[in-house]
Amino acid sequence: MTRALLREQVIVALRSIRGNALRTGLTIGIIGLGITALISMTTATSSLEANITQQFASLGTQSFTIRQATSGGMNRGRRVVQSDPIRFREVQAFLEMDHPDWVASYSLFGSGSAVLSRADEQTDPNIQVLGIDEHYLTISGFEVAQGRDVNADDVSNARAVALCGPELIEQLFQPWEDPIGQEISVGSTRYTVVGVLAARGQAFGMSQDKQCMVPATAARRQFSDEGRSYTITCRVHDLDQIDAAADRALGDFRTIRRDAPGAPNSFVIEQSNALVGTLEEAITGITLAATAIGIITLFGAGIGLMNIMLVSVAERTREIGVRKSLGATPKAIRAQFLIEVMVIGQLGGLAGIVLGIAVGNVVANYLETPFVIPWNWMALGVLLSLVTSFVSGYYPAKQAAALDPIVALGRE
């Protein structure tokens, strides 16, 4: 087919599309509905995946955490109970070991329902108080926006100093006030604000900007060690060594905890990169399910499109006869209908992609996850709309090309 003939075919196809606005609109809507279903769901899942990756990126993929084992279930016919808390002396013993491959930090959960107050202002009773050491912010990815971090002297001397999230500062201080050096009360204990944390937003539906961090020794003094478990976080210097480092930490901490040979661990080690991978696998499953639903919708759209094109061929039988009598070949007739249906398919695909991105990001906004544009899925949407329109339009185009011109001219 020459370029001039192809241009003529496209012009005829566009003229036919404009002349049948209602049918064209219905056809575009059918294709667009299938593409919208696919793109909207994959946009939402892509946004969710981006949010999870972003939230865990703050921990880095070079860290692992040692925490109290809390899983239940059965092991060798015996019920597994919650392990003993990780004690302060065990944390100290672990930190005193020679561990050149990583930097370790420890933390202590003080309260999840604390009230912070200052003069006549106070917060709701839903503030998290966390005891930390001097390495915690660096390893966990928090940053200080104003003031300073907790240092080693603060921890060793159990100083009553605090780092506050930006939401706490907004609730307790006026915009023109400098919170650094001011005193606040955490329950009945007074602390001096030495730093304001940089905003972090929400993680898994919970605000990270409404927490107060104090030296772990100060939290230990205020909230007591009774029944509380410490958490140790280690960040390795070389990502390639994280598995070896986690294995070494496992052996060292089993020794510290005096776990008997062959007995299950009395604690758990969680790798941040493994957790991200597990969540991404779950999201991949959701994405595959969304893709299957979108393709099934497109299959239904293809059937509807084929029916509409068959009706179009029946309505335009006389037009086909006139074109054939003027010298149009069956190949040219078939190409005309295929070009027409593929143009309609691409218009439907474009409409579906735009609407799908809009719907998917509305859902993402509701879930408070990032705005995303799924370029790969957009390309797939264009390809699927092209394939769907071609497959659906080929049989009607073949039927049109096979019409006898004498019979076609005799039709009303």
Residue 180 has pLDDT above 90, yes or no: yes
pLDDT value, residue 35: 81
pLDDT digits (tens, 9 = 90+) for 103-127: 899 999 998 889 999 988 889 888 9
What mean pLDDT comes out for the span 63-67?
87
Question: With contact defined as beta carbons under 8 Å apart, do 364 and 372 qualify?
Answer: yes
Residue 40 has pLDDT above 90, yes or no: no
Confidence grade of residue 284 (pLDDT, cut at 50, 70, 90): confident
pLDDT digits (tens, 9 = 90+) for 184-240: 999 889 999 999 998 876 554 556 788 899 999 999 999 887 778 999 999 888 767
Residues in CB range of 379: below 8 A, 6 or more apart: none
Residue 410 has pLDDT above 70, yes or no: no
pLDDT value, residue 278: 59
Distances in Å between the alpha carbon of 184 and those of 39, 120, 165, 190, 231? Answer: 50, 11, 13, 6, 26
Residue 58 has pLDDT above 80, yes or no: no
Closest among 62, 223, 240, 248 to 139, alpha carbons compared: 62
Quote the mean pLDDT of the chain. Answer: 80
pLDDT value, residue 112: 86
pLDDT value, residue 408: 55
Exposed/middle/buried for 44, CB within 10 Å: 0-12, 13-18, 19+? buried
pLDDT value, residue 164: 94
Its pTM stands at: 0.57
Which DSSP letter does residue 135 get?
Answer: T
Q: How far is the C-alpha of 169 from the C-alpha of 197, rounded, in Å?
A: 10
267 φ, ψ (degrees, to nearest 5): -155, 175
Q: Which residue has the higher pLDDT, 55 or 255?
A: 255
pLDDT value, residue 2: 66
pLDDT value, residue 194: 95
Which DSSP letter does residue 306 get?
Answer: H
Residue 241 has pLDDT above 70, yes or no: yes
Residue 140 has pLDDT above 60, yes or no: yes
Percentage of residues in the chain having pLDDT higher than 70: 81
Identify the weakest region by mean pLDDT among 123-127, 266-270, 297-301.
Answer: 297-301
Question: With contact defined as beta carbons under 8 Å apart, do 88 and 96 qualify?
Answer: no
Question: With contact defined as beta carbons under 8 Å apart, do 374 and 51 qualify?
Answer: no
pLDDT digits (tens, 9 = 90+) for 19-35: 667 777 777 787 787 78
Q: Which two tokens stand for residue 315?
A: 């309505």
What mean pLDDT comes out for the span 138-145?
86
End-to-end CA distance of the chain: give it in Å, rounded: 31
pLDDT digits (tens, 9 = 90+) for 148-177: 999 999 999 999 999 999 999 999 998 899
pLDDT value, residue 201: 65
